């Protein structure tokens, strides 16, 4: 697919930008095209009945439910989908003075091991088979980083300067997003870097393992404007999700929904 949007550095576009393409998105959420991960989850929804969080994501992994050919972590983790991030994240980390990164969850850690991030990376995931494979590859010197089995909503997490939670909260219920954020804050990290869709209008709930878009600035999350914003140049579904971005927030400023005024 042709790329319709051009990266706007690590910030929002402004009226004075030149040479920047920031294409208009559909005005209504309902005008957005369907997403493969959501369609495939709905088709297999009955299989998730009575499964806990860990069991749900193990099933997703074991059946490659999200449907990507090159990555069990989904279309967003394939190499073409992460080209902008692999170029931009080193500059972002330098600006934020990040020297250690918690990739939570890390999935198959494919794209991130092709990025020269120049920071120490620790990956955590809830799927044992993923972590066992990554630990074996790291021990053999095939990939960098260290990897641990952990549920981001409840297990103690290693302390790093920043937490990267890309394509993760969009798959969690609002209740588990709140638990994950509280756990991120408890880890002592300074920065949270998470997927957001700045032009999405209404945040809804979903079952764990399903997918829906989130604008982390809007209710009921209400995180406020990100300190930095990196547009990913997403071309999935014909470019209908081209506002997909990584936003950066100070964890100290992120207030759980049940405490927001």
Residue by residue, DSSP assigns 225-255 as S-SEEEE----HHHHTTTT-EEEEEEGGG--
Cβ pair 210, 257 in contact under 8 A = no
Q: Residues 132, 137, 143, 144: is their CA dihedral positive or negative?
A: positive
pLDDT of residue 7: 37
Q: Which of 11-15, 42-46, 127-131, 241-245 has the lowest mean pLDDT?
A: 11-15
**Residue 134 binned pLDDT confidence (cut-offs 50, 70, 90):** very high
Q: Which CATH superfamily is domain 32-259 in?
A: Vaccinia Virus protein VP39 (3.40.50.150)
Nearest CA to 93 out of 120, 124, 123 is that of 120
Cβ pair 47, 117 in contact under 8 A = no
**Residue 183, preceding bond cis, omega within 30 degrees?**
no
pLDDT of residue 72: 54
Q: What are the boundaries of each domain within the chain?
A: 32-259
Between CA 194 and CA 246 the distance in angstroms is 5
Q: 191 by DSSP, 3-state: which?
A: strand
Strand partners, 125: 149
Between CA 94 and CA 76 the distance in angstroms is 24
User: Tens of pLDDT along 53-81?
Assistant: 999 999 999 998 866 554 455 455 556 77
User: Tens of pLDDT along 161-207?
Assistant: 999 999 999 999 999 999 999 999 999 999 999 999 999 999 999 99
Residues with Cβ < 8 Å from 136, sequence gap 6 or more?
none
Strand partners, 195: 246
100, burial (CB in 10 Å: exposed 0-12, middle 13-18, buried 19+): middle
pLDDT of residue 82: 82
């Amino acid at each position: 697919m042709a790329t319709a949007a051009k990266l706007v550095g690590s910030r929002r576009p402004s009226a004075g930008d030149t040479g920047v393409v920031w294409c208009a998105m559909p005005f209504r959420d309902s005008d957005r095209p369907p997403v493969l991960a959501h369609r495939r989850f709905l088709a297999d929804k009955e299989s998730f009945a009575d499964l806990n969080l860990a069991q749900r994501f193990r099933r997703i992994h074991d059946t490659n439910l999200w449907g990507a050919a090159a990555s069990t972590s989904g279309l967003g983790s394939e190499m073409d989908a992460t080209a902008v991030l692999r170029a931009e994240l080193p500059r972002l980390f330098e600006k934020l003075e990040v020297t250690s990164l918690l990739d939570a969850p890390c999935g198959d850690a494919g794209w991130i091991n092709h990025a020269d991030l120049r920071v120490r990376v620790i990956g955590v995931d809830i799927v044992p088979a993923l972590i066992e494979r990554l630990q074996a590859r790291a021990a053999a010197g095939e990939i960098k980083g260290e990897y641990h089995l952990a549920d981001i909503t409840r297990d103690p997490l290693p302390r790093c300067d920043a937490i990267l939670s890309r394509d993760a909260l969009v798959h969690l219920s609002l209740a588990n997003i709140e638990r994950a954020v509280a756990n991120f804050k408890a880890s002592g990290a300074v920065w949270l870097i998470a997927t957001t869709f700045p032009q999405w209008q209404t945040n809804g709930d979903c079952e764990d393992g399903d997918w829906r878009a989130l604008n982390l600035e809007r209710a009921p999350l209400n995180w406020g404007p990100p300190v930095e914003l990196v547009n990913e140049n997403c071309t999935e579904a014909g470019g209908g999700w081209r506002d997909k971005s990584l936003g950066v927030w100070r964890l100290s400023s992120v207030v759980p929904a049940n405490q927001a005024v």
